[in-house]
Structure 1
Amino acid sequence: MPAFQQQIDSTQPTPADIKNRRWIYIPYDRYTDRTGPLTAQPPADTGIVIVESTAKALRRPYHKKKLAVLISNMRHFALEQRAKGVSVLYHLSPHSHGQALLELQRKRHLPTLTCMTPAERELRLDLATASQQGLQLQLVEDTTWASTTQDFLNTYGPYQHGKSYVMDRFYRRMREQTGILMQNAKPVGGQFSYDAANRSPYKNEVPIPTPPAFPPDAITREVIALIESTYSHHFGTTENFDLPCTQSDCDLFWRFFLDHLLPNFGRFEDAMRDDHLQLFHSKTSVLLNLGRLLALDLIRDVADRAATEAVPLASAEGFIRQLLGWREFMRHLHEQTDGYRLIADHVPQESRPRPQEPSPNQTPTAAKAYQPTEPSTDPYAGATPSALHASLPLPAVYWGVKSGLHCMDTVVAQVISEGWSHHITRLMVLSNLATLCGFSPRELTDWFWFAYIDAYDWVVEPNVLGMATYADGGLTATKPYVSGAAYINRMSNFCGHCQYDPKKSTGEGSCPFTSLYWTFLERNQSTLSKNFRLQMPYTTLRKKSPAELVQLRTRAQEAIAHLQSFKRPTY
């Protein structure tokens, strides 16, 4: 890494730096000096420690572009801080972050380190283990969030099993507390949510601006070379990498969305296209989750545009609801349930063993095949709630093996290429198919975790185990988010380019989504038939003749068998 190493090594901390500065540990997802302990003193009085851990990168077959955008931003952030006068101790280690910090603190005689409380449960556990072994570390509040733990507790109280946690209540409270899109203690426009106005399919009504690209500089090219040599067996590709990796580029990335995409974001928020995969979505989630952009800054920028009527209120509110509502709500729920482990104590477990992850202090030499093993008491192993008793192995289509389902094949190809797709394709294509078929919620969660560039435990676990698969039994959603082919056909152009007919539910050429939908309802009627939001489909199901039900079951079984007939790649 000559380009980066030469620059970062030229100003190694001196003994005087170590003695006279306040030393701050920067987690791998908090690259910001706009809030937190970095803002508490001048750069000349500040030192930061950054660990680039091979053990963490090898923990899962993380998408190559996730590693590229994370490591490149990490290195650029280090150089940005050094240019401001901050003393930078950048450490490459084959060990976990906690073990690396412990060794570094002892070797360099570092004083107690300050760190914003890590967002990821995994890193919190890692640091706690190191602290028990002697690491001197002081955790302070993570001020990159738009809300506090107390905000959540003031809304719902402490977590209780069996209690419903619907996001709308939290979102309303945060709107009232912050004054965002509020006037005279009332929501601007008279409604808290304009979700109903944000459900139009896209049919080329307005042109879609071309997002800016950020070609890799010398440092990013070095990172890509590192990934191809050290993590070549990982998921995805580094080809055509163009994500922002400097603070200035991240800011430019956001301004483009604000100026060019936000005006039409809300209207087409739920639309899906095979020729315009991004549509009007911002793709800022990866930068938010790295700390490069701050949620409250983005929320205020969008609210300002709405105040001047530069963008439709429905677009502004839809974006703000995702950040101030859903994103904050999910991270609190993950924290309050200990990564869904408290939920798993009460929800039926999957019958299939879960993957066992390496110990946090183990130094893997290579990523191993992602295969299930016996259940483990490892605190890093993921929770496995499965309220609908789903346990079938996740099929090869999620690894890019063509299934013949155009929607699935298109979205998975995008994920392999970009490590990203927008929230409706995640929910109503990828997760919809898994839920309808009864594929393991834990395996789907783990797949999202390594396949997406914006995935961390606090966001992926509650979203997939909760909203996407209903594995939590309805803790976060009032019904499973499932559909047959009709929804996909209405909201996308996928079906027009598919070999299957969305208007046929059985027989040759029929789209399997519809038969899978009805058999899903039939299979889970003891659990779901009394759900007030599913009364209409269950009424329709009861009217189907025995002969039609047999045909639907047969078609659904054929579809599942077809998906499971392909060999799944291992990582």
Structure 2
Amino acid sequence: MVSRLILVLGDQLSEDLSALREAGQDDVVVMAEVGDEASYVPHHPKKIAFLFAAMRKFAARLREDGRNVAYTSLDDEENTGSITGELLRRAEEHGASEVIATEPGEWRLIEALNDCPLKVTQLSDDRFIASHSEFDTWADGRKELRMEWFYRDMRRKTGLLMDGEEPAGGKWNFDHDNRKPAPDAVEFGGPMQFTPDEVVGEVLDLVERRFGNNFGDLRPFWFATDQGQARRALAHFIRGALPKFGDYQDAMLAKDSFLYHGVLSLYLNAGLLSPMEICRAAEEAYEKGDAPINAVEGFIRQIIGWREYMRGIYFREGPDYADRNELGHTRSLPGFYWGDETRMACISHTVAQTKSEAYAHHIQRLMVTGNFALLAGISPQEVQHWYMSVYADAYEWVMSANVIGMSQFADGGVVGSKPYVSSGNYIDKMSDYCGDCAYSVKTKVGEGACPFNLLYWAFMERHRERFEGNPRMAQMYATWDRMDEDKRARILDEAETFLNRMAQGAPV
């Protein structure tokens, strides 16, 4: 008989997981592929396959290390379909009454474990750099919770890119150097790709049978599915892409899904890579002279800055954070987010890439799909549901602050000091999408006008009372006010016509 069960979730595939560190020789590690987790949103098939394959390989590794692992596959006839159900089944099977778990990254699962009839101890997830209490201590008493100030504290704590008490290169932030438009050619061949082995092949067949109707292409499948492969993918990125990552991190190309991005976030968020492991590899490249400071600083900021900050906001703001809708947006998400026809080339390219790869980089998410949703007044909950459904790196702890806060301004300004909205000009500057679009990005009103141009001004007018006093938006309101009154009326009328056609399901 055993004394305890040790729960390991699908995004906790780290050997130094706090729950595993507490495990004794007689304890049983419980891992399970369950319907509740595979279907609480209609996940991209690639994400499901990635996690199931990585879980199976992680369980095998634990067994090789002498751990007693009780693993439930999705097609196990005795599978109860939920994490708590599997805990109860394994507790009865092994005579256990206590569970040791590492705190999940979603309130939904935290509350499920709190309600479990067994005694469940949830340990801190110390794979992150900032604990909940540390983030709260930083945030307490501040009028604005701006990421930049938190990021600097994380630099000091970790020592990353620090020269004593001062930042390497003399500045904390080199973002000004990281805004180059799309290059004529990309010298990086893309993220390292892996041929499915027998374990992955079995999972692909299972996912195809059970989730074949979900949005997204399951095959070809090339993700890393164990720690060794993930580390090879990291080394491949550091060597081949990091030197130019900073320059072109915001750029977009219709025929290149990755540019200089490494697609490492899914490995990081599942636990196959650790944040400090990734950051130290980037820092080493800078110290050896293999990558410039703007690239390395920008990359590290995404991990110990934005990623840690987003988690801190999610847990500080509480379980209702994902339900916020400060701007009162209620339109339904249009079908073209799920692959229906649209004449907007930027949306079409981004959604097609998402369907194929379960991936889009931060500017495609923020300034294309997110920007359009915000301008169009789409329900932020429907927007978050979509992001949770279609991306392989998506978990609520990281998506909520990114979508509800940064992308949709639905938290009223907790994350951002102003909404991230733009007309078509930004997309035109940073991509080649506009060249083959049915709309003209240079046309502001009338036949063929870019919808982003129309909806931008409609958004500004719709929320004028809230934003006209914002000093970062004053110039745009002044530009709007200088327009001829008839032109303003025509823009608002054409924006409304566009939104009505979209709501009726007509191709737009």
Q: TM-score, normalised by structure 2?
A: 0.95
Query: CA–CA distance in 2 between the matches of 1:464 and 1:206?
Result: 29
Question: Cα–Cα, structure 1 residues 244 and 40, in superposed 2: closer, same or farther, change >3 Å?
Answer: same
Give the residue type in structure 1 aligned to 2:486: A
Q: Specify which of 443, 464, 481 is matched with residue 542 of structure 1.
A: 481
Asked if the contact 2:243–2:291 (Cα under 8 Å) also holds between the matched residues in 1, the reply is yes
Q: Specify which of 58, 80, 83 is matched with residue 77 of structure 1.
A: 58
Aligned to 1:266, the other structure's residue is in SS state helix
Q: Specify which of 188, 207, 212 is matched with residue 187 of structure 2.
A: 207
Give the residue type in structure 2 aligned to 1:56: E
Give the residue type in structure 2 aligned to 1:24: I
Whether 1:331 and 2:270 are equivalent positions in the alignment is no
Asked if the contact 2:190–2:259 (Cα under 8 Å) also holds between the matched residues in 1, the reply is no
| Matching of residues 209-288 of structure 1 within 5 Å | 209-288=189-268
Q: Specify which of 71, 80, 97 is matched with residue 90 of structure 1.
A: 71
Query: CA–CA distance in 2 between the matches of 1:496 and 1:214?
Result: 34
Aligned to 2:254, the other structure's residue is in SS state coil
Where does the alignment leave 5 or more consecutive residues of structure 1 unmatched?
1-14, 344-382
Which residue pairs with 2:76 in the alignment?
none
Q: Specify which of 440, 443, 462 is matched with residue 504 of structure 1.
A: 443
| Matching of residues 21-170 of structure 1 within 5 Å | 23-39=5-21, 47-92=28-73, 93-110=79-96, 112-130=98-116, 133=117, 135-157=118-140, 163-170=143-150
Which residue pairs with 1:431 in the alignment?
370
Identity of aligned residues (%): 33
Query: CA–CA distance in 2 between the matches of 1:338 and 1:524?
Result: 26
Question: Cα–Cα, structure 1 residues 46 and 96, in superposed 2: closer, same or farther, change >3 Å?
Answer: closer
Which residue pairs with 2:502 in the alignment?
563
**How far has the Cα of 1:40 moved from its partner?**
5.8
**How far has the Cα of 1:385 moved from its partner?**
1.8
Aligned to 2:248, the other structure's residue is in SS state coil
**How far has the Cα of 1:169 moved from its partner?**
1.3
Which residue pairs with 2:392 in the alignment?
453
Query: CA–CA distance in 1 between the matches of 2:166 and 2:227?
Result: 36
Q: Deviations over 1:476-524 (max 9, x none)?
A: 1011001001110000000011111111011112211111111111111
Q: Deviations over 1:57-106 (max 9, x none)?
A: 12221111111111111111111111222221112423320122022112
Q: Specify which of 347, 351, 356 is matched with residue 412 of structure 1.
A: 351
Query: CA–CA distance in 2 between the matches of 1:46 and 1:201?
Result: 54
Query: CA–CA distance in 1 between the matches of 2:27 and 2:88?
Result: 20
Whether 1:195 and 2:178 are equivalent positions in the alignment is no
Give the residue type in structure 2 aligned to 1:145: F
Asked if the contact 1:244–1:250 (Cα under 8 Å) also holds between the matched residues in 2, the reply is yes
Asked if the contact 2:191–2:258 (Cα under 8 Å) also holds between the matched residues in 1, the reply is no
Give the residue type in structure 2 aligned to 1:50: M
Question: Cα–Cα, structure 1 residues 327 and 444, in superposed 2: closer, same or farther, change >3 Å?
Answer: same
Which residue pairs with 1:517 in the alignment?
456
Aligned to 2:33, the other structure's residue is in SS state strand
Whether 1:389 and 2:318 are equivalent positions in the alignment is no
Aligned to 1:267, the other structure's residue is in SS state helix
Q: Supply the RMSD in Å over aligned alpha carbons.
A: 1.9
**How far has the Cα of 1:23 moved from its partner?**
4.4
Query: CA–CA distance in 2 between the matches of 1:59 and 1:417?
Result: 21
Asked if the contact 2:230–2:273 (Cα under 8 Å) also holds between the matched residues in 1, the reply is yes
Q: Deviations over 1:405-449 (max 9, x none)?
A: 000011011111111100000000001001111111111011111
Query: CA–CA distance in 2 between the matches of 1:242 and 1:165?
Result: 38
Aligned to 2:342, the other structure's residue is in SS state coil
Aligned to 2:30, the other structure's residue is in SS state strand
Query: CA–CA distance in 2 between the matches of 1:296 and 1:146?
Result: 8
Give the residue type in structure 2 aligned to 1:79: A
Asked if the contact 1:261–1:282 (Cα under 8 Å) also holds between the matched residues in 2, the reply is yes
| Matching of residues 280-429 of structure 1 within 5 Å | 280-339=260-319, 341=320, 383-429=322-368
Give the residue type in structure 2 aligned to 1:199: R
Query: CA–CA distance in 2 between the matches of 1:410 and 1:562?
Result: 21
Asked if the contact 2:246–2:295 (Cα under 8 Å) also holds between the matched residues in 1, the reply is yes
Give the residue type in structure 1 aligned to 2:8: I
Give the residue type in structure 1 aligned to 2:135: F
Query: CA–CA distance in 2 between the matches of 1:177 and 1:257?
Result: 25
Where does the alignment leave 5 or more consecutive residues of structure 2 unmatched?
74-78
Query: CA–CA distance in 2 between the matches of 1:219 and 1:564?
Result: 44
Q: Which moved more, 1:496-505 or 1:298-307?
A: 298-307
Whether 1:442 and 2:377 are equivalent positions in the alignment is no
**How far has the Cα of 1:310 moved from its partner?**
1.5
Q: Deviations over 1:38-59 (max 9, x none)?
A: 34679x6664211211122122
**How far has the Cα of 1:254 moved from its partner?**
1.2
Give the residue type in structure 1 aligned to 2:149: R
Query: CA–CA distance in 1 between the matches of 2:183 and 2:213?
Result: 39
Query: CA–CA distance in 2 between the matches of 1:294 and 1:255?
Result: 14
Q: TM-score, normalised by structure 1?
A: 0.85
Query: CA–CA distance in 2 between the matches of 1:285 and 1:271?
Result: 18
Query: CA–CA distance in 2 between the matches of 1:567 and 1:294?
Result: 46
Aligned to 2:323, the other structure's residue is in SS state coil
Whether 1:494 and 2:433 are equivalent positions in the alignment is yes
Aligned to 2:42, the other structure's residue is in SS state coil
Asked if the contact 1:26–1:115 (Cα under 8 Å) also holds between the matched residues in 2, the reply is yes
Give the residue type in structure 1 aligned to 2:284: D
